[in-house]
């Protein structure tokens, strides 16, 4: 995968998932993604029955980490639990955002590969804009790559804190 591409340039597949607090927004965004021509693999949940966000986050994050999906979208009540869970899967860089600047910047600077949103935080209109900003961002590399390398080193338990 070439990280300097915008996700908007990739038809997908994109892996999406949500818990019971996020599945309505997730379904709206799936429609938006399909209308944009993206291939979507929906990992659920499909209804309001209570479920645990780490299960959905693990499923989507694994698809991204193993290369089955180019990127991922996760929605829960706040987006926070999804990001915490997804970031425990090596290779995943999940970002929870609620403003367009951060949605774009996390692609430019962090090469984020999973977007996390909170249905209880953002409405459908803003969520659609956040999705577009994320899709449009292109990783800038350079000094940011050096920082990603350190993230990977932390993941590999290969970077000691400076004292
Ligand atoms: C579910 O009530 C809620 O805790 C969950 O959707 C999420 O917001 C956790 O971070």
Q: pLDDT for 88-134, tens place per residue? A: 999 999 999 999 999 999 999 999 999 999 999 999 999 999 999 99
Nearest ligand 1 atom, CA 118: 8
Q: Which of 87, 104, 91 is nearest to 140 (CA)?
A: 104
Quote the CA–CA distance of 28 and 88 in Å, as a whole number: 27
Q: Which of 64, 106, 121 is nearest to 73 (CA)?
A: 64
What is the phi-psi region of residue 142: left when phi exceeds 0, alpha when psi lies from -120 to 50, beta otherwise? left
Q: Which of 20, 43, 76, 116 is catalytic?
A: 76
Q: Cβ(18)–Cβ(76) under 8 Å?
A: yes
Name the closest-CA residue to atom 4, ligand 1. Answer: 77
Nearest ligand 1 atom, CA 80: 10
Quote the CA–CA distance of 1 and 38 in Å, as a whole number: 16
Name the closest-CA residue to atom 8, ligand 1. Answer: 77
Name the closest-CA residue to atom 3, ligand 1. Answer: 77
pLDDT > 90? residue 11: no
In this prediction, residue 70 has a pLDDT band, given cuts at 50, 70 and 90, of very high
- Kindly give the pairing relationship between strand 114-118 and strand 71-76: parallel
Question: Does residue 20 carry a catalytic annotation?
Answer: no
In this prediction, residue 137 has a pLDDT band, given cuts at 50, 70 and 90, of very high
In this prediction, residue 16 has a pLDDT band, given cuts at 50, 70 and 90, of very high
Which CATH homologous superfamily contains domain 10-156?
A: Sugar-phosphate isomerase, RpiB/LacA/LacB (3.40.1400.10)
Average pLDDT over residues 13-41: 97
Burial 130-143 (b: 16+ CB within 10 A, else e): bbbbbbbbbbeeee
Ligand 1 centroid, distance to 144 Cα (angstroms): 31
Name the closest-CA residue to atom 7, ligand 1. Answer: 77
The pLDDT mean for the chain works out to 95
- Kindly give the pairing relationship between strand 114-118 and strand 14-18: unpaired
Ligand 1 centroid, distance to 126 Cα (angstroms): 19
Q: pLDDT for 141-150, tens place per residue? A: 999 999 999 9
């Amino acid at each position: 995968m070439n990280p300097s591409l915008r996700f908007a340039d990739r038809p997908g597949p994109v892996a999406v998932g949500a818990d019971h607090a996020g599945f309505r927004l997730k379904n709206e965004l799936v429609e938006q993604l399909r209308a944009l021509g993206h291939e979507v693999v929906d990992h659920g949940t499909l209804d309001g029955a209570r479920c645990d966000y780490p299960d959905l986050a693990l499923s989507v994050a694994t698809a991204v980490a193993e290369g089955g999906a180019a990127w991922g979208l996760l929605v829960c009540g706040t987006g926070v639990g999804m990001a915490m869970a997804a970031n425990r899967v090596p290779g995943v860089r999940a970002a929870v955002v609620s403003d367009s600047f951060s949605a774009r910047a996390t692609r430019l600077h962090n090469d984020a590969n999973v977007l996390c949103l909170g249905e209880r935080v953002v409405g459908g209109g803003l969520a659609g804009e956040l999705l577009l900003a994320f899709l449009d961002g292109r990783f800038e590399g350079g000094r940011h790559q050096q920082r990603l390398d350190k993230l990977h080193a932390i993941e590999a338990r290969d970077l000691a804190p400076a004292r």
